[in-house]
Amino acid sequence: EYMGELLSYSPLNMAAHATDFHVGTTINQFIAAMERRHPTATGALSVVLMEIAVASKLIASKIQRAGIADILGKADSTNASGDAQQKLDVQSDVVMADRLLSTKYVAAYVSEERDEVVFPSNPDVAASARYVVATDPLDGSSNIACSVPVGTLFSVLERVTPVGAPVDIATDVLQPGRRQIAAGYVMYGSSVMFVITLGHGTGVHGFTLDPSIGEFVLSHENIRYPAAVKNFSINEGNTEYWSQGVKDYVASCKAVDKAAGRPYGARYVGSLVADAHRGFLYGGIFLYPADSKSPGGKLRLMYEASPFALLSEEAGGKASSGTVDILDIVPTSIHHKVPLILGNASEVDRALSFIRG
């Protein structure tokens, strides 16, 4: 597969190769162009990524019609973490699973909405497929009724065991984020935006859905964190549960320091995709730290923290649990939870200096 070929390029050279697209390029053209640069490519990864894009369009349609199609509100079920599922959580998961598992290229599907790993119904397909996809099909779904932006997150890994052998969950699925070969998110807000990286210095690229043609078109090429930090994003309702280090860091964000450009603006939507997306475009930091209520963290590693960690590094930023880089954490289960500190690299380091004491 062509992603193996990516490893032969230096990050600097690969970045140069990946940023010669023009505004208006469709996401399918972008993916196909990346594939053509690698003669050994089979097209399998391209199909997987294109199916994620199609699923995102279908989910966007459901969100836009939610109020009139009676699909707002809670379903009579909970997900693997015990959270009450919204009707749209369930429907979005079905859409994503159907699109991905209908290909012959996905060996295993991991979703926030499912207790276990899902494999293709045909065991021969599972054995011959090369990719593992982990996803939060609809992050922040409880915000839909008040029209707050929500999103889809995804991570793509390449299996480690030989093709033809049964998928081994410990080896093929529970891989650290550093091994992701693609990651991204879709934000459903005033517009629908698909943001993706293929890692290895290819950068982060944003595609906006043009409803007139039904296509994602390149609108934000080579997204990088701005040098200046403008905002911090954290749920201050949890203040009493924070460590003293987190409290001191947040206080420093609010303190007047004109030379350092502080105080920062406080921005918190409560939708991970929306809060992190703002940081990419405007410069800032997002924190969901460990606290006394959730000492192990609250965000899921495989399909929330790891995708954003790879995107952040590709955009010149950093992602940490407060103790280690997110991309170096090996999940112990598909719903493994971690703290997350994400944003401009220098500001993440500043936050860590407080948190670590």
Determine if the peptide bond prior to 289 is cis (ω within 30°).
no
Q: Which of 1, 35, 93, 139 is catalytic?
A: 139
Can 58 be counted among the known catalytic residues?
no
Can 89 be counted among the known catalytic residues?
yes
Run of H or E including 33: helix 27-36
Q: Measured between alpha carbons, how far is 112 from 117 in angstroms, rounded to an integer?
A: 10
Beta-ladder partners of 217: 26, 208
Can 172 be counted among the known catalytic residues?
no
Long-range contact pairs involving 8-15 (C-beta distance under 8 Å, separation at least 24): 9/200, 9/201, 10/201, 11/200, 11/201, 12/201, 13/201, 14/200, 14/201, 14/202, 15/201, 15/202, 15/203, 15/222
Can 313 be counted among the known catalytic residues?
no
Can 139 be counted among the known catalytic residues?
yes
Phi, psi of 91 (to 5 degrees): -65, -40
Can 83 be counted among the known catalytic residues?
yes
Q: Measured between alpha carbons, how far is 46 from 220 in angstroms, rounded to an integer?
A: 20
Q: Which of 172, 304, 313, 314 is catalytic?
A: 304
Q: Which of 138, 272, 301, 327 is catalytic?
A: 138
Q: Which of 112, 221, 313, 314 is catalytic?
A: 112
Q: Which of 35, 51, 113, 158 is catalytic?
A: 113
Task: Give the single-character DSSP code of 32.
Answer: H
Q: What is the CA radius of gyration of the chain?
A: 20
Q: Measured between alpha carbons, how far is 264 from 311 in angstroms, rounded to an integer?
A: 23
Can 113 be counted among the known catalytic residues?
yes
- Locate 197 and state its tokens: 């990286």
Q: Measured between alpha carbons, how far is 191 from 206 in angstroms, rounded to an integer?
A: 12
Can 138 be counted among the known catalytic residues?
yes
Q: Are 233 and 284 in contact (CB under 8 A)?
A: yes
- Report the Cα 96 to chain-centroid distance in Å: 15
Long-range contact pairs involving 124-129 (C-beta distance under 8 Å, separation at least 24): 126/166, 126/167, 127/163, 127/164, 127/165, 127/166, 127/167, 128/104, 128/163, 128/164, 129/103, 129/104, 129/105, 129/159, 129/163
- Report the Cα 169 to chain-centroid distance in Å: 21
Q: Which of 89, 93, 275, 291 is catalytic?
A: 89
- Locate 234 and state its tokens: 């954290």
Give the residue numbers annotated as catalytic, written as ranges.
83, 89, 112-113, 136, 138-139, 304
